[in-house]
Chain A
C-alpha cells in the first residue's frame, strides 16, 4: 500500500526534523495509538508513557520506513513493541496474582460466550475494564492474539516465551475474562449498558 500525498509530505517534514510536521504526525495517529497503549497499560499515565516512548522511536526511525506497507501499521507495530518492552521492564514490579486456584473455580463458572445481545453491547470502556482486569501476562497475550492478530509463534518471540505458554496464557486469559464479564454483570444489573 503506497503512501498518500499528505503522508509523504508529513514524512518528509518529520525526516527533516520540522516540529510542525512532527506535531501533525503526532496528532494524526494520537487517537488510535493511545487506544492501543491504553489496552496494554494499567492506567492512562502508564499508557501515556508507552505512547511517548513509542513516538520517540517512530521519529528516530522514520528513515527505516521503506514505504512498502501501511504507515499506520508500521507506527502501530512500534507502539506494540514499545508496550511489550515496557511490560518486560516492569514485569518484576507488577503484582503477580496467583490465579491458578481461581481458574479451577472459573472453569465451573465459565458458561461460554453465548449471550449475543450482551456481547454486541459491550463498548470500548467495558473492554478496557475487562482487559485491565487480567493479570499483565494474560493481558499482553490476549491483546496480541485477539486484538492485534499475531500468531502464538510471533507472540512467543516477542515475549520471549514458548508457543505453548502463549497458548496457555491465552486460554487462561479467556477464562479470566469470562469471570470478569460475569462479575461485571453482577455489579451492573443494567448490563449490557455498563
Chain B
C-alpha cells in the first residue's frame, strides 16, 4: 500500500469513526420542519394503537364495574355477618299515651309518645357497641312491627343508624284504632353489637409480571388496608432491578375467593446505568383463590405508567418494557409509557 493510500485510509477511518455531539436545539428545529411538511403526527397514535387504547379503556371500565359489584356485595354481607347482636337486658318502660282529636277523630299525639320510645343510649367499648332498642308490648300486634325499629341516639332525625333503621315519629299514628289505653308498655332491650376484631394481614407473595419477571412482596396490615414492600428482578434485557412500595386492600367475596386492589410505585434500576429518574407506577387488581387456609394463588391485571429519563443503547426507554405500550410520549426528554400488564403468583399467609 502506497503512502498516499495509507494516508487516505487513515482519513477514511477517522472520518467514519467520528460522531458529532448531539444538539437538542436541532431537534426542536427539526420538529418544526416536520410539522410544516406534514410528516409528524401530533395525535401520537397510529390507528392500530388508537384501537388498542379503546380496547384497553373498555377493559378498564369492565374491570372497574366488576370490582364495584364485588365491593358492594361482600360489604353488605359483611356488615350483617360481622355484627352479632345480642340482647343483654330487657325492661318495661311505661309510656303514657295521650290522644288528640283531629277532625272529630281521636288520634295518638305522637309528640308525647315518640320521645319516650326513642330514648336510647349508645356506648362503645373497644369493639362492642351497646344500644337500646325499643320493642312494643307483645300483646299489641298492630304496633309491633313498627315498634321493633331501633334508635341509636336520642334524636332520631339526626341519628346515624348503627345497623338499624331509625324510628319514624309518626309510627304510632296508626295505633289510633287500638282500644283506648292510658299507658303503652314498651319493652326496651339493650342490645350488644359485637363487631369482630380485625384480623392482621401478613402475607408473602411470589409472582411474575411482564415488567419484572421475578418478584417477592411482603404485605402487612389489615384486610382493609395493608402495606406492600416489593423487590423484583428481570434477568433478560441486561438485567433490571425494581424496588417498590405500595398499599392494598382485600375485598373478600367468598371464603375461598377474594379480590385485591393494590397501588404500587417502583424505582427501576437498569444494570450498568447510573441512577436516574425511572419510576414505574402500577394499579393492580388481582383475583385470589385459596388452595389451603394459608396458601392462595392469584392472577390479575396491572395498569402501568413508566416515567423515565433512562435511554438504553437502542434509545428505547427502559430497554423496552414492554413492547406493547399503548402510549409513548416524550416531554422534555422524559419518556412516558403506559400499558396494561399481567401478574400471576402465589401468596403465603404468615399469620
A binds B: yes
The residue on A at minimum CB distance from B16 is A147
The residue on A at minimum CB distance from B319 is A6
Which of B27-35, B108-116, B119-127, B175-183 faces chain A?
B27-35
Interface string of A96-117 (1 = CB under 8 A from B): 0000000000000000111010
Cα-based distance from A122 to B13 in the complex (angstroms): 11
Question: Is A28 on the interface with B (CB-CB < 8 A)?
Answer: yes
Cα-based distance from A117 to B33 in the complex (angstroms): 45
Interface string of B7-30 (1 = CB under 8 A from A): 110111011111111110011011
Interface string of B40-67 (1 = CB under 8 A from A): 1110111001000000000000000000
Q: Which residues does chain A contribute within 8 Å of B329, judged by CB atoms?
A: 20
* B51 shortest CB reach to chain A, Å: 13
Cα-based distance from A47 to B27 in the complex (angstroms): 14
Cα-based distance from A56 to B26 in the complex (angstroms): 13
Interface string of A2-42 (1 = CB under 8 A from B): 00101001100100111111111011101110110011000
B41 contacts A27, C-beta separation under 8 Å:
no
Cα-based distance from A175 to B46 in the complex (angstroms): 54
A56 contacts B33, C-beta separation under 8 Å:
yes
B8 contacts A146, C-beta separation under 8 Å:
yes
Question: Is A59 on the interface with B (CB-CB < 8 A)?
Answer: yes
Cα-based distance from A120 to B41 in the complex (angstroms): 47
* Residue with the highest number of chain B CB atoms closer than 10 Å, among A20, A34, A48, A116: A20
* A100 shortest CB reach to chain B, Å: 22
Q: Which residues does chain B contribute within 8 Å of A39, judged by CB atoms?
A: 15
Cα-based distance from A19 to B39 in the complex (angstroms): 9
Please judge, given known A-B contacts A20-B44, A116-B6, whether A31 and B21 are in contact too, CB under 8 Å. Answer: yes
Please judge, given known A-B contacts A19-B41, A112-B3, A122-B10, whether A26 and B15 are in contact too, CB under 8 Å. Answer: no
Our pick among B4, B22, B29, B320 for the contact of A31 (Cβ within 8 Å) is: B22
The residue on B at minimum CB distance from A44 is B20
Question: Is B37 on the interface with A (CB-CB < 8 A)?
Answer: yes
Our pick among A17, A113, A114 for the contact of B40 (Cβ within 8 Å) is: A17
B3 contacts A18, C-beta separation under 8 Å:
no
Question: Is B314 on the interface with A (CB-CB < 8 A)?
Answer: yes
Cα-based distance from A120 to B9 in the complex (angstroms): 10
The residue on B at minimum CB distance from A53 is B33
Question: Is A123 on the interface with B (CB-CB < 8 A)?
Answer: yes
* Residue with the highest number of chain A CB atoms closer than 10 Å, among B8, B18, B21, B40: B18
Q: Which residues does chain B contribute within 8 Å of A67, judged by CB atoms?
A: none
Our pick among A13, A112, A147 for the contact of B12 (Cβ within 8 Å) is: A147
Q: Which residues does chain B contribute within 8 Å of A193, judged by CB atoms?
A: none
Our pick among A9, A18, A59, A114 for the contact of B316 (Cβ within 8 Å) is: A9
Question: Is A141 on the interface with B (CB-CB < 8 A)?
Answer: no
5 pairs of A and B residues whose beta carbons are closest in the complex: A31-B19, A17-B41, A6-B314, A34-B20, A113-B7
Residue contacts A-B, CB under 8 angstroms, 12 given? A18-B44, A19-B40, A19-B42, A22-B31, A22-B40, A30-B23, A31-B20, A34-B19, A52-B30, A56-B34, A120-B10, A122-B14
